[in-house]
Homo-oligomer: A and B are copies of this chain.
Amino acid sequence: MTAQNKSAGLGIALPDPPPPAGDYQPVMIRGGFGFVSGQVPVRDGRLLFTGRVGIELTPEQGRAAAEIAALNVLAQIDKALPSWDQFGGLLRVEGFVASASGFTNQPEILDGASRLFAEALGELGQHSRAAFSVEQLPLNASVELVVTFATQTQIPASQN
């Protein structure tokens, strides 16, 4: 855990953001939008809740996994922005859930992430969402979140 991150105002403690799993950036920001790389339920360098909901995991464990992945999304935004004053709100959450064949309640699992975003961000946590079921995810993760957010864009005074 980061003792002094910028998230004091969020009212929740954020983990250290996980490093990328390959040759890419954790977050790209451009033109008022931010693009967060896929986040999985890693904590302190260990991937938690591996496997599929409906086989290795219960729905409750799946929701807990979604919550940890959501905390990592917030940790990445926290690191990428100079301050949360620059944050303009979530826009889209795409959630992939590794699932047993026949388990089709992925929305229930992803509500674990959506509720955490609401608790941490209030109105700025509102988002559109798309849920998907997959047989497996990279590294055998149970949940992966792909998030797009808005930044506060200000027209520099020099342009007026």
> Using a CB–CB distance below 8 Å, which chain A residues touch chain B?
20-28, 30-33, 35-38, 88-94, 96, 99, 101-102, 104-108, 110-111, 114-115, 118, 126-140, 144, 146, 148, 150, 153, 155, 159-160
Contact = CB atoms under 8 A, between A and B. Distances in A.
A129 B38 contact: yes
A89 to B, nearest CB: 7
B138 A38 contact: no
A159 B157 CA distance: 11
A102 B140 CA distance: 8
A33 B20 CA distance: 24
A114 B160 contact: no
A59 to B, nearest CB: 13
Q: Lowest 3 A-B CB distances belong to which pairs?
A: A38-B130, A24-B129, A22-B107
13 contacts: A22-B131, A24-B127, A24-B129, A28-B126, A30-B150, A35-B148, A37-B129, A38-B132, A99-B136, A104-B137, A104-B139, A107-B138, A133-B136
